[in-house]
Amino acid sequence: MTILDFQRKWESSMYIRTSFKTFSDAFFMALEAIRDNLLRSILTLLGIVIGVFAIIAVMTAIRTLESSINTGLNVFGSDVIFVQKSPVIQMGDHNSRRKYWRRPNITYAMALELRDRILGAEFVSAQDGTGGKTIHYKKESTNPNVGVQGVDEFGLEALNHKLDYGRNFIPEDIEYNRRVVILGTDVIQKLFPYQDPINQTISINGLGFDVIGALQRKGEMFGQSQDNFVIIPITAYLQYYSNRWTSLGISIKAPDGESFDMTKDEVIDQMRIVRGLGPQDENDFEVTSNDALIDTFGSFTAGIKMFAGAVSVIALVVAGIGIMNIMLVSVSERIKEIGVRKAIGATRNNILFQFLLEAVFLSLIGGVIGVLLGVGVGNMVTLVMKNVAPVIPIDWVFIGLGVCSFIGIVFGIYPAYKAAGLDPIESLRHE
């Protein structure tokens, strides 16, 4: 190593040490200034906290809901198209929903006709459900809140249920209205805690059904169990539990993902024929899928995100103005201090950096508090949806802290510039 190389390394090392010391001094001065004006600083922080809290809490809650939807809202199986009389998610007032109620019901005969017309689909399945039933087995009984679903031999796959043990329905079960049943895990745990339910006979509101299968547990969604139900053949369901308001849902599985859109168009065309609609008539049925449900939820949450963003922007701007005011007051109160620092060698840039760091640091403290509160409150959704893990929106955390830094710089630059521009002699004379 030459003398020149050694000198360069020494100079570089000294520059790093000097820069670190400058930053360290400014950092601790900023802390001291905030501590000396604690009440004023806290009041200024509130705006930052509220702004960051609003956006982080909303984004955390939405991410939690999205996680639940992506993992648990798959009410239909993969590549499955669902047809029913009314939309799955209905919005609007009573009058806007009335048109759906006036539509003709979808009957089992329509489902069978559609099955005959859609030749390329893997299956066409009809289903419906009702709730509020009590299930009995000997001396044991459930609460009167058990759901009863009527399906055909394709219903388990159509509704994304998986058989744990036993058997699925066969065409003969459907054709002959057999009173056979497949149980959800909640019903099994209640009626058969220590016994194999297969081949046992349960009673659904006084009607006997032979148990042929048991489903795998699905857990909870939105705080509600997805396992508190039983499944019976659709024909038996229509015989014993249908009424004049019963309208079936029809599930159609596309051969694969590539032909999904083509199958969906075919379903609409053939369903119009089944429903007897003319060329000028609008559809009197709804067609949806898992992706459509997720998109609907996304459009709903988009408005919430925009509102939270607007609240956050307003709060942060107000907080930024507050930071600028407190820094201007701080400058006016510390004129003599600034003069002393300049007299002993502090440069214009040193003063500028110190006050700018105070503004940024003050803003970041509020940002960190807002992030912590927002993540905590946003994840309170998981207390309701027990099967969903807590979520931390890392991208929005960094965005929030970045915006806080930006706010601190933008609204701190003028007070810092004013402090740096003070004349040291006039500052020392200040009383």
CA distance 379 to 67: 12
In a domain, 21, yes or no: no
Helix (H/G/I), strand (E/B), else coil: 275: coil
Helix (H/G/I), strand (E/B), else coil: 45: helix
In a domain, 382, yes or no: yes
Q: Are residues 260 and 143 in the same domain?
A: yes
Cβ atoms 428, 336 nearer than 8 A: yes
Choose among 77, 123, 83, 88: nearest CA to 274.
Answer: 83
What pLDDT score does 105 carry?
Answer: 93
- For the chain, percent of residues with pLDDT exceeding 90: 32
Residue with tokens 């859609």: 118
CA distances from 228 to 54, 163, 389 (A): 36, 15, 22
Q: What is the mean pLDDT of residues 260-269?
A: 90
Q: Are residues 84 and 131 in the same domain?
A: yes
**Does the pLDDT at position 193 exceed 60?**
yes
What pLDDT score does 25 carry?
Answer: 58
The per-residue DSSP string of 339-359 comes to HHHHHTT--HHHHHHHHHHHH
Task: Give every CB contact of residue 329 below 8 A, 6+ residues apart in sequence.
Answer: 40
Pairing assessment for the beta strands 229-233 and 146-151 based on DSSP bridges: parallel
Helix (H/G/I), strand (E/B), else coil: 398: helix
Q: Are residues 147 and 245 in the same domain?
A: yes
Q: Vertex 47, ends 332 and 395: CA angle to 5°?
A: 120
- Cα 284 from chain centroid (whole Å): 31
Q: Are residues 396 and 319 in the same domain?
A: yes
What one-character DSSP code corresponds to residue 30? H
Among 238, 264, 288, residue at a domain's last position? 288
Q: What is the mean pLDDT of residues 229-255?
A: 93
What pLDDT score does 402 carry?
Answer: 84
What pLDDT score does 340 carry?
Answer: 72
Q: Are residues 307 and 195 in the same domain?
A: no
What pLDDT score does 255 carry?
Answer: 86
CA distance 420 to 346: 10
Q: Are residues 380 and 351 in the same domain?
A: yes
In a domain, 9, yes or no: no
More confident residue, 297 or 393: 393
- The sign of the CA dihedral 27, 32, 33, 38 is positive
| Count of residues making up the chain | 431
What pLDDT score does 2 carry?
Answer: 60
In a domain, 20, yes or no: no
Model confidence band, residue 412 (pLDDT cutoffs 50, 70, 90): confident
In a domain, 8, yes or no: no
More confident residue, 28 or 369: 369
What pLDDT score does 177 carry?
Answer: 93
CA distance 410 to 199: 74
Q: Are residues 40 and 56 in the same domain?
A: yes
Beta strand ranges found along 280-375 (DSSP E): 286-288
**Does the pLDDT at position 47 exceed 90?**
no
Q: Are residues 58 and 109 in the same domain?
A: no
Q: Is 232 exposed, middle or buried (0-12, 13-18, 19+ CB in 10 A)?
A: buried
What pLDDT score does 114 carry?
Answer: 94
**Does the pLDDT at position 3 exceed 60?**
no
Q: What is the mean pLDDT of residues 391-395?
A: 81
CA distances from 213 to 84, 167, 231, 268 (A): 27, 5, 9, 34
What pLDDT score does 385 carry?
Answer: 59
Q: Is 107 exposed, middle or buried (0-12, 13-18, 19+ CB in 10 A)?
A: middle
What pLDDT score does 344 carry?
Answer: 74
Model confidence band, residue 431 (pLDDT cutoffs 50, 70, 90): low
Model confidence band, residue 406 (pLDDT cutoffs 50, 70, 90): confident
Q: What is the mean pLDDT of residues 135-158?
A: 92
Listed range (3-7, 99-103, 332-336) with the worst mean pLDDT: 3-7
Cβ atoms 318, 44 nearer than 8 A: no
Q: Are residues 282 and 397 in the same domain?
A: no
CA distance 195 to 237: 26
Residue with tokens 């001065």: 29
In a domain, 348, yes or no: yes
Mean pLDDT of the chain: 80
- Number of domains observed in the structure of the chain: 2
Model confidence band, residue 414 (pLDDT cutoffs 50, 70, 90): confident
Q: Are residues 34 and 177 in the same domain?
A: no
Helix (H/G/I), strand (E/B), else coil: 218: coil
Pairing assessment for the beta strands 286-288 and 80-84 based on DSSP bridges: antiparallel
Q: Are residues 97 and 35 in the same domain?
A: no
In a domain, 355, yes or no: yes
Among 288, 322, 350, residue at a domain's last position? 288
More confident residue, 384 or 104: 104
What is the residue range of 326's domain? 27-70+296-429
Model confidence band, residue 6 (pLDDT cutoffs 50, 70, 90): very low
Among 288, 309, 324, residue at a domain's last position? 288
- Identify residue 50 by its one-letter amino acid code: I
Tens of pLDDT, residues 279-302: 899 999 988 877 766 666 666 667
Q: Give the CA dihedral 10, 16, 21, 22, nearest 10 degrees.
A: 120
Q: Give the CA dihedral 52, 54, 55, 57, nearest 10 degrees.
A: 110
Q: Which two tokens stand for residue 115?
A: 């099955």
Listed range (19-28, 238-247, 346-355) with the worst mean pLDDT: 19-28
In a domain, 1, yes or no: no
Q: What is the mean pLDDT of residues 364-372?
A: 86
Tens of pLDDT, residues 91-136: 556 666 777 888 899 999 999 999 999 988 899 999 999 998 999 9
Q: Are residues 236 and 300 in the same domain?
A: no
